[in-house]
């Protein structure tokens, strides 16, 4: 079950060190090699830590290994460290299957139009669709288009509990999975259950690495920081959607994507 994590960690070269990091109420960032990685701040998990002391000066690969921690706050730092390497603009736009919006304006809509929920609106019409994680405004965005099931660890009325995944996901045509599942360690199993569906990993916490295509993902819809000062300001103010003023969403299709099922 650790193979996915080990492959992501191993892909980070030596010689890169963490220069700074920030754990805020909504988002956590790790800065290394001139790039900023983001992950949704997640609390909970088991006791104990893999590392004591500050991350500043730590090898980025070692910081990324904290993604395997069962202390979810520490694992958040580890995933942000992964993203400090993989989610850089130069690296991402060189990947096959890369798509980005045109030159972004200052409005959030233009910077998030490559979000998978927008990109797949026509494709999911009339299909069986499940979403892991209750994203903002998701009912208004795609519920009228498809047969939608939302699975959530802290369900609100209308959601299924996340424990329903073993029953619901094998029956879906499309599954959208929050990147937070990498932090809480449910992602490897979720990808196994979804083998017959088209799977998109969605959100700023998703590492934009082809490694994930080898484990069952068909599409990555993630975030690249291009304006770190604006991102840092939004995070310090406890903002949620405003972080997108510091970067942009991009979409990467994997080799088996094929815009299936038909």
Domain boundaries, the chain: 3-89, 99-253
Helix or strand holding residue 9 (H, E): helix 3-10
Q: Report which of residues 180 and 120 the model is more confident about.
A: 180
CB-based contact 260:172 (threshold 8 Å): no
- CATH fold label, 3-89: Enolase-like; domain 1 (3.30.390)
CA gap 134, 105 in Å, rounded? 27
pTM: 0.91
pLDDT for the residue 261? 37
- CATH fold label, 99-253: Rossmann fold (3.40.50)
pLDDT for the residue 47? 78
pLDDT tens-digit readout, 204-258: 999 999 999 999 999 999 999 999 999 999 999 887 788 888 998 899 999 876 5
Q: What's the rounded mean pLDDT across residues 135-149?
A: 87
Q: What's the rounded mean pLDDT across residues 52-60?
A: 94
Strands of 162-231, DSSP E: 174-178, 198-202, 219-225
pLDDT tens-digit readout, 81-111: 999 999 999 999 999 888 765 555 555 555 5
Number of Cβ within a 10 Å radius of residue 91 = 14
pLDDT for the residue 65? 98
Measuring CA to CA, which residue among 112, 86, 135 is closest to residue 243? 112
CA gap 109, 128 in Å, rounded? 26
């Amino acid at each position: 079950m650790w193979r996915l994590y080990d492959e992501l960690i191993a892909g980070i070269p030596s010689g890169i060190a963490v220069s700074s990091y920030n754990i805020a109420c909504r988002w956590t960032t790790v800065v290394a090699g001139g790039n900023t990685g983001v992950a949704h701040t997640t609390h909970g998990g088991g006791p104990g830590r893999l590392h004591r002391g500050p991350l500043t000066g730590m090898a980025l690969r070692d910081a990324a290994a904290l993604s395997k921690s069962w202390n979810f706050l520490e694992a958040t730092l580890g995933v942000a460290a992964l993203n400090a390497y993989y989610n850089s603009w130069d690296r991402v736009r060189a990947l096959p299957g890369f798509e980005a919006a045109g030159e972004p304006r200052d409005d959030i809509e233009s910077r998030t139009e490559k979000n998978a929920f927008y990109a797949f609106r026509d494709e999911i019409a009339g299909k069986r669709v499940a979403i892991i994680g209750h994203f903002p405004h998701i009912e208004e965005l795609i519920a009228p288009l498809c047969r939608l099931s939302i699975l959530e660890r802290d369900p609100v009325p209308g959601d299924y509990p996340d424990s329903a995944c073993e029953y619901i996901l094998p029956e879906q045509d499309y599954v959208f999975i929050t990147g937070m599942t990498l932090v809480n360690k449910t992602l490897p199993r979720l990808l196994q259950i979804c083998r017959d569906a088209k799977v998109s990993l969605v959100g700023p916490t998703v590492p934009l690495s082809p490694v994930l295509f080898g484990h069952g993902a068909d599409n990555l819809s993630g975030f690249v920081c291009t304006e770190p000062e604006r991102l840092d300001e939004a995070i310090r103010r406890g903002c949620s959607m405003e972080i997108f003023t510091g970067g942009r969403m991009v979409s990467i299709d994997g080799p088996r994507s094929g815009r299936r099922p038909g």
